[in-house]
Chains A and B, each alone.
Chain A
Amino acid sequence: MRNRERTGIQGLSRRSLLKSGAGLAGLMAAAPGALWAQETPQEGGTLRIAMTADIQPQAILAGRGGNDAFRHNVFDTLTVLDGESGQPKGMLATDWSSSEDGLTFTVQIRDDVTFHSGRPLTADDVVFTLEQMKVPENASQMRPLVEQWTSIEATGEHEVTITSDSPVAPRVFDVFQLAVIVDQETFAGLQDGSEIIGTGPFRFEEWVPGASVRMVANEDYWGEGPYLDAVELNVINDPTAMANAIRGQVDVVLNLTPRDQIMFTGDPSVEVFEGAGGTFYPLGIDVNAAPFDNKALRQAIGYAIDRERIIDQVFDGAGETADVWWRTNEPGSTDEINNHYSYDPDRARELIAEAGAEGADVPMQVIGFGAVPAVYEIVQNNLRDVGLNPVGQVLETAAFDQGQTAGELGPVFMQIHGLQGFSAATLVDALPALRPNNPSKFDPPEYRQLKDALQAAQDEEAYAAALGELAEFMLDEAFSHVLVKTTPLHLKTPQVHGLEFYNVGYLQLGQAWLG
């Protein structure tokens, strides 16, 4: 297996590019670590957080935006993924090992953990949780991976062994990141949120669906903290109203729009910072729909789009113009791969001429969610500029998602994906744009073989080679163009300390405190 360092949790201190007002300038002069960690934590207080989406306890085993600030506070996972390196760090797991052939994976679990109900955590609970990942109704994105495992067994009171016909690690750590360990005795209570029992630093207290959630400190938490007495999550659907809530109503605002951050420029009472995780904005092309069955035309679209302009005009500079569907520092990624389709309208025109597609209509379905319609405005302008005729239709999220699930989105479509932070080996079978039955209808045998080679790679060198080969193939086939990747922007007041974001953007408040 790949050599993974256990340094997982990503504190804001290590990554954040902070943008804020004058008050923050002084803070930025200090070492980043000092910003968030050096002061002695103070106990007490209620941390109030605003977010746009409600929690979804029935989908706690899936990656959902609404659960980002909830799942790792009421629940724990076996391991979490580091924000910068993507390497796993033990939480409920104290140790893990892989067999020589990689087909057997064994994980040791802490023996001092109790659920909020008072019942001790055992290996059976871990087995139950991992088995639940397979249940379709639980909607976990990691279901295809867990289904590949041939057995999940408790081989000791605090030991679980996973076997598979294909190597279990390293993708098992992506599964673990989503697999919050649930209490099998009260699992049914997650359906309506009437009983939410985990092992995390906070106990669930109350949920008013669509409005708010309250969690209180778990005094028997196995780890350090929590320092806060309670945490309140407030759902505010209107993004501007949510951003404004930082002016007295809440202490932290999660996922504000780039447009709304402008309101806080020069405001010393508010700090704007980038978190981990983020969003992909892919443009997909149906490789069977004429004239897009011509690879040259698909590649032309890649060269026609001015990604820098999207970042500047739509996201106010908060994002990157990478062409790959995974982290740009994933082993095997190179500058050539990450920036394969640099903006080159002349090259695009040549390829369009080569494909004989001058003036071709480009029917596009666009998800009417977040910034995608704004991104479309630039894309359609770029395509028109190189001699194509884009005809866009913005669809409501619910209707678009139906088409995405069915793999039917028309010849060209603009999607939005989360899950940023998981490994490439996992994403190629989890992201709707890339998985089997993707709406691009792209699934040739070579694609599967290259994915299999990546997923079977057991050391970093083999992984890097396999990923490079897969990336080059995918970029050449040009069935899905990642237009931009954005990182989430958050707000906090200077009184808030110790926020921790895991690699995929999940917030953990066990070490958080109010000054």
Chain B
Amino acid sequence: MLHFLAKRLPSVALMLVVTAVIAFLLPRLGGGDPAQVVAGSDATAEQVQAIREQMGLDRPLPVQFAEWVGQVATGDLGTSLISNRPVAQLIGARLGSTLELAVTATALMIVMGLGLGILAGITRKGAPRALLDGAISVLLATPPHVTGLILILIFGITWRLMPITGEVSVFDDPVRGFSYLIMPAFALALPQAAMIARLVDARMAQVRQEEFVDLAVAKGVPPRRILLSHVLRNSLGTAVIATGIRIGEILAGAVVIEAIFARQGLGMLAVTSISSRDYEVVQIIVLFAVVIAVLVHFASEILLAALDPRIRLDG
């Protein structure tokens, strides 16, 4: 596995450098000015210029970039231009909320995705099959924010069973924490779970046509064992890869879901930082997102190799 990781190091390093350049340039190309945000919309040109100089934004871009890269390389994530707080502190304060949401949504996605997929895979005809197909299609077509609003209307406003905005950490109060977490996590996980279910279902149908399954049937292997050991195991590789990709989707979807459910996670930090042109925070969040995506991708590949003996990491 070390060889596998070492082989990918140069491409990862290159990707991080490219990401750093893009993360640095992109917010600056979008117009607006953090000095203007701090000075306020009523500010005069003189006030904005004084604040721009105070922030060091009047220096050439290459100088600012070199300084930022140097800082990050030494573990200093910089200071927010808007709140003047360390970026690491701002991210640290929000990370827990997003992790709680992402982990819960991922768990729900895997459980519901595999459950629905396997159920669809073994239900091959009749009304139950049509029902499952219909349910998966509806879930696939419904974006998280629509699901979130429907859940709020039903469980938050009509029946008042769940809190609809805010959050409590599950580590501070597990019961209340989960009551705040369950609706946003559900909204986030449902479309992704449907996608996994569809893939597992399709892959199971495909594997059933393979010769080794026919051979097993001819040898009189019990259907249950054929399903579990031959069909299902050989269908899960697709689900593992899809799950890795879907985790990225969950993190992206968290931006909208955090807004709807008033959760103060990294997604909301990213949105407010972009709108207030807080370059220092945006840069780090983009880098952070890329690093997470790379790690999840590695984890998917390693898990895939463990599931499928034909794939070798070191090969």
Task: Enumerate chain A interface residues (CB-CB to B < 8 A).
Answer: 54, 56, 58-59, 62-64, 136-137, 139, 141, 143, 191-193, 208-212, 234-238, 240-242, 244-245, 247-249, 396-399, 401-402, 404-407, 417-419, 430-432, 435, 437
Contacts and interface: CB of A to CB of B under 8 A. Distances in A.
- Interface core residue of B33, B47, B152, B160 (most chain A CB under 10 Å): B47
A417 B268 contact: no
B51 A137 contact: yes
Contact of A241 (B38, B48, B84, B259): B259
A399 B29 CA distance: 11
B151 to A, nearest CB: 13
B164 interface: yes
Contact of B90 (A210, A241, A430): A210
Given A192-B83, A247-B164, A249-B166, A238 B262 contact: yes
B275 A398 contact: yes
Contacts of B33: 398, 402
B146 to A, nearest CB: 14
11 contacts: A58-B38, A59-B38, A137-B50, A237-B268, A237-B271, A244-B152, A247-B157, A402-B36, A405-B41, A407-B45, A430-B42
Contact of A141 (B32, B42, B85): B42
B165 A237 contact: no
A474 B141 CA distance: 55
Contacts of A432: 41-42
B105 interface: no
A55 to B, nearest CB: 9
B39 interface: yes
Given A58-B38, A210-B83, A238 B47 contact: no
B84 A208 contact: no
Interface string B271-310: 1100111000000000000000000000000000000000
Interface in B247-282: 259-262, 264, 268-269, 271-272, 275-277
A193 B40 contact: no
- Interface core residue of A59, A234, A242, A244 (most chain B CB under 10 Å): A244
Given A236-B262, A396-B32, A139 B39 contact: yes
A191 B38 CA distance: 11
- Tell me what chain A mostly uses at the interface: helix, strand, loop, or mixed: loop
A242 B262 contact: yes
B31 interface: yes
A166 B82 CA distance: 36
B172 interface: no
A398 B37 contact: yes
B94 interface: yes
A210 B268 CA distance: 9
Contacts of B163: 248-249
Contacts of A141: 40, 42
Considering the complex of A and B, which 5 residue pairs feature the smallest CB-CB distances, nearest first?
Answer: A398-B32, A192-B84, A136-B50, A209-B83, A211-B264
Contact of A404 (B41, B84, B166): B41
A58 B253 CA distance: 33
Interface of B: 31-33, 36-51, 54, 80, 82-85, 90, 93-94, 152, 156-157, 160, 163-166, 259-262, 264, 268-269, 271-272, 275-277
Given A139-B51, A211-B264, A405 B43 contact: yes
A263 B164 CA distance: 14
- Interface core residue of B41, B51, B152 (most chain A CB under 10 Å): B41
A131 to B, nearest CB: 15
B264 A212 contact: yes
B94 A211 contact: yes
A136 B46 contact: yes
B45 A406 contact: yes
B31 A136 contact: no
A248 B164 CA distance: 9
Nearest to B94: A211
Given A211-B93, A247-B156, A402-B33, A193 B83 contact: yes
Contacts of A191: 84
Contact of B31 (A58, A399, A417): A399
A248 B165 CA distance: 9
A405 B32 contact: no
B32 A208 contact: no
Contacts of A137: 47, 50-51, 54
Contacts of A241: 165, 259-262
A398 B40 contact: no
B40 A245 contact: no
Contacts of A58: 38, 84
A446 B220 CA distance: 103
B282 to A, nearest CB: 13
A249 B47 CA distance: 38
A205 to B, nearest CB: 15
- Interface core residue of A58, A242, A419 (most chain B CB under 10 Å): A58
Contacts of B262: 234, 236, 238, 241-242, 244-245, 249
A247 to B, nearest CB: 6
A416 to B, nearest CB: 8
B166 A139 contact: no
Contacts of A396: 31-32, 275
Given A241-B259, A249-B262, A405 B54 contact: no
A136 B156 contact: no
- Interface core residue of A59, A209, A407 (most chain B CB under 10 Å): A209
A279 to B, nearest CB: 12
B164 A405 contact: no
Nearest to B79: A192
Contact of B41 (A212, A397, A407, A437): A397
A177 to B, nearest CB: 15
Contacts of A405: 36, 39, 41, 43-45, 48
A372 to B, nearest CB: 12
Nearest to B277: A398
A208 B47 contact: no
A398 B31 contact: yes
Nearest to B45: A405
Contact of A237 (B32, B39, B272): B272
B47 A419 contact: no
B269 A237 contact: no
Contact of A398 (B36, B152, B261, B269): B36
A64 B47 contact: no
Contacts of A399: 31-32
Contacts of B275: 396-398
A439 B211 CA distance: 76
Contacts of B157: 244, 247
A209 to B, nearest CB: 4
A435 B44 CA distance: 10
A208 B264 contact: yes
B42 A431 contact: yes
A240 B269 CA distance: 18
Contacts of B51: 136-137, 139
A108 B44 CA distance: 32
A139 B47 contact: yes
Nearest to A235: B264
A109 B46 CA distance: 33
A272 B148 CA distance: 26
Nearest to A53: B272
